[in-house]
Amino acid sequence: MPDAPTPRLVYDAFLITAYHDFYKPAVAPRVIGLGLGAALLAELVFSGQLAVRSHAGRDLVIAESRGGPPRDSLGLWLTELVQSEPEHLAVPEWLEYLAIADTQTKTADHMVVAGLMVRGEQRSRWLGKVQVTYDAADALIAQAPLARLRRYLSSMDRRMPLLDAFLLALTESVGLSKSLYSQMPAGAREYAEGHLRVLPAPLQAIRGHLTAAVADTAITGNL
Amino acid sequence: MSAPSPASAVQSALARDKLGTLSLLHFSLTAATPLTVIAGGVVVMFAVAGQIGIPIGYVIIAASLLLFSVGYTAMARHIANAGAMYAFVARGLGRVPGVAAAWVAATSYCALQVSLYGYLGYVAQSLFASIGLDLPWWAFALVAWLLVGLLGTRAVDINAKVLAVLLTVEVAVVLVFSASNFANAADGVSFGAFSPTALSGEAAGAVLALAVIGFIGFESPTVYGEEARDRKRTVARATIATVLILAFIYIVSSWSIITAAGDDNVVAAATADFDLMFSLAGDQLGSTWETIGRILLLTSVTAAALSFHNTTARYLFALGREQVVFSWLGRTSVRTCAPVAASVTQTVAGGLVIVLWAVLGLDPVVHLFYYLGTASGIGLIALILTCAIAVLVYFARDRREESLWASRIAPVLAILAMGGVLYLSVIHFHTLLGVEKGSLLPKLVPIVFAVLALLGALWALFLKRARPDVYAGIGHGAKAPLVQAAERAAVPVGAAGDR
């Protein structure tokens, strides 16, 4: 059963970026890694286990003690990594690392434990290799995060919670603006922009570096 | 970035994922298509120049670009968005000249890419006519245009693999043809082509301008600066190696053609037969090799069109992300993360030109390949010169621990060299176009680029007044949103204090 309270930002980010359905494609593999890394960092900043501080022109990720140790293995893994680094590393370096550290599989495995995903194995007919697949345990739950964001944008009748506002920023940054704003009423973008503009500085920094990393990926073609 | 600490698991993992010199060399060399340059450029240079000094022209350009590369790669170590030359201009000379350079650069790359469809149509038409399929040039050009347009919206990684295979085969064939030319020398191996007097008069500018185009792509390793294993050395090594390798191929192959045809006969032979390279191979090695060469030329021109398509799309994408031009150009493909809006824009531009040239009945080689290609060459030489000036000014403010050679001497020599090349190219541009001295067309091209630069500068001044946040992000490419956000918060980047 889940070892962390749900729903979590990183789970929602996984379902938005990596889950493919009729209404929304999955993004490129490297962008999934960057998006999940940003979500995990933001989640730990929000819960007080990490902080982002500017120093000499760099946005450094620093371990914080005010939130206590994370209660789940995913958060604990990253927090311990941050603590074990001899020097503080900047947000772009952590995003880069999390993109190559197979955060997608780690998150998917975690979601299997949480009962949100089902792990499967497929044997390749030609190569004989076993490929691990992850499918949503419930398609409606898999669509829920994006549907929730779209509900905010279509009704525009109340303020979004902070983490949902960050999830919206993340959805835009990974290139899913079309899925987000398609058939939304006039004023939806202004409503969203109003929320994004007042994101706390650490989340703004993570959002900005995620956007830049995705653009770098497009320029270099490093997928 | 600080050196990886052995105790840092994250830094060690990141270091393992970095690109070495060979990886960067792979990216830059796949942007070059030597067979197109030699078959489509070198033979024409003999005909246009009426001289045999093509190899010495390549030596001069290679030396100039090597000098330029020293300062260029040194500055790339200190700036973000180092893949685009306009970013160097923006950081060295200011944002207003930066936008002016961006407009000239985007137009030049776009024109160069589109010009290749003319040559491609001609090559395909000749090849397929020999097997009985007689279609107009634009039909073949449109097929290639569709292919390039589709591949351009895929992940660049796929394109790089396609380009790598084509490049390997191309280089092998060029070397086989060159070896055969030397083995079948008309009058023995002659060194006359390397005499300084072999390149003089009004032809010099034409040869130098055409020679520069063959090296375009040498600047691409700086795109991967942040992913390089050693940012101080890897990018510089890859850039310089690219220039040296291309120079070797171009010098050897052009020299071999002179050797096979003879010093006294090569100009007449090239004027009479634009397919001289393949005719020589056919005579020496048999018709099978000639056919292989012609087929590879078609794939080579297609690869060149694809390579320049990607370069142009990256430029437009970076400008879109900076919101310097339409911000929708900064959109990526969801599935592949390719710069899809910029890529489609370039495809539309190419399609319009092909259709327009076909409707007007213009010649694909003379009016599309030569006119647009050489005009873009003038724009690119001006861009390299402006970038060299930007490097000098950038280091004049602060040497940033770079050597005197990299920060002062090499940039000054590069400015002198590229300034001379630009001067000769502009005043001899009529030779390049094959029109009378004093006619309108050669004057029109520099004027068009000057107007573009002026419009770009005016647009930058407008942004400065109306959208200071966008203005602040100019030259930062992918990182422009970070700079723009800091500007909107009226706080310099990284000076926001504790968060």
Chain B closest-CA separation from residue A72 CA (Å): 21
Q: Which residues of A touch B13 (CB under 8 A)?
A: 97, 100-101
| B295-325 b/e (C-beta count within 10 Å ≥ 16 → b) | ebbbbbbbbbbbbbbbbbbbbbbbbbbbbbb
Chain A closest-CA separation from residue B16 CA (Å): 10
What is the span of the domain harbouring residue B361?
14-487
B250, amino acid identity: Y
**Domain count for chain B:** 1
Please tell me which of the candidates A27, A89, A221 has its beta carbon nearest to residue B10: A89
pLDDT in tens, A122-135: 887 777 788 888 99
The pLDDT value given to residue A82: 95
Count the Cβ atoms, other than its own, within 10 Å of residue B161: 11
Q: How far is the C-alpha of B471 from the C-alpha of B437, rounded, in Å?
A: 42
Pick from A46-60, A103-117, B200-214: least confident? B200-214
- Give Rg (Cα) of chain A: 17
pLDDT for residue A118 is more than 80: yes
- Name the CATH superfamily housing domain A9-139+200-218: yeast vps74-n-term truncation variant domain like (1.10.3630.10)
B6 near A CB under 8 A: no
The pLDDT value given to residue B1: 45
Please enumerate in sequence order all residues whose Cβ is within 8 A of that of A62, keeping only pairs 6 or more positions apart, or say none: A50, A51, A52, A53, A82, A88
Residues of chain B with pLDDT under 50: 1-5, 491-499
Query: In CATH, what number is assigned to the domain containing residue B449?
Result: 1.20.1740.10
Report, as an integer, the average pLDDT of A59-81: 89
Q: Phi first, then psi: what are they for A50, rounded to 5°?
A: -130, 160
Domain ranges of chain A: 9-139+200-218
pLDDT in tens, A136-163: 999 898 999 999 999 999 999 889 999 9
Q: Phi first, then psi: what are they for B258, rounded to 5°?
A: -60, -45
Q: How far is the C-alpha of A42 from the C-alpha of A161, rounded, in Å?
A: 14
Interface test with chain B among A173, A220, A222, A223, by most B beta carbons within 10 Å: A220
The pLDDT value given to residue B492: 42
B473 near A CB under 8 A: no
CA nearest B434: which of B424, B445, B426, B442? B442
Q: Which two tokens stand for residue B481?
A: 């949103």
Q: How far is the C-alpha of B287 from the C-alpha of B277, rounded, in Å?
A: 13
Q: How does DSSP classify residue B399?
A: -
Interface test with chain A among B18, B332, B476, by most A beta carbons within 10 Å: B332
> Residue A130, SS3?
strand
The pLDDT value given to residue B157: 58
Q: How far is the C-alpha of A189 from the C-alpha of A212, rounded, in Å?
A: 21
Q: Which residues of A touch B477 (CB under 8 A)?
A: 215, 219
B276-280 LR contacts (CB < 8 Å, sep 24+): B276/B43, B276/B46, B277/B38, B277/B39, B277/B42, B277/B43, B277/B177, B277/B253, B278/B39, B280/B177, B280/B180, B280/B181, B280/B184
Q: Is B495 part of any domain? A: no
Asked if omega into A7 is within 30° of 0 (cis), the reply is: yes
The count of C-alpha atoms lying within 13 angstroms of the C-alpha of A64, restricted to the half-sphere facing its C-beta, is 17
The pLDDT value given to residue B65: 97
Q: What percent of chain A has pLDDT over 90?
A: 73
Q: How far is the C-alpha of A159 from the C-alpha of B24, rounded, in Å?
A: 48
Q: Which two tokens stand for residue B20?
A: 């070495």
The DSSP bridge partners found for residue A132 are: A121
Q: Phi first, then psi: what are they for B322, rounded to 5°?
A: -80, -10
The pLDDT value given to residue B18: 79
Q: Is B4 part of any domain? A: no
Q: How far is the C-alpha of B8 from the C-alpha of A119, rounded, in Å?
A: 33
B305, B116 contact by CB (below 8 A): yes
Q: Phi first, then psi: what are they for A8, rounded to 5°?
A: -115, 155
Distances (CA, A) of A91 to A133, A195, A211, B32: 30, 22, 12, 35
The pLDDT value given to residue B155: 60
The count of C-alpha atoms lying within 13 angstroms of the C-alpha of B194, restricted to the half-sphere facing its C-beta, is 9
Please enumerate in sequence order all residues whose Cβ is within 8 A of that of B116, keeping only pairs 6 or more positions apart, or say none: B36, B301, B304, B305, B308, B369, B373
Contact A214 B482 (CB under 8 A): no
Contact B332 A215 (CB under 8 A): yes
Q: Which residues of A touch B333 (CB under 8 A)?
A: 175
Q: How far is the C-alpha of A86 from the C-alpha of A92, rounded, in Å?
A: 17
pLDDT for residue A4 is more than 60: no
Residues 8-27 of A with CB under 8 A from B: 25-27
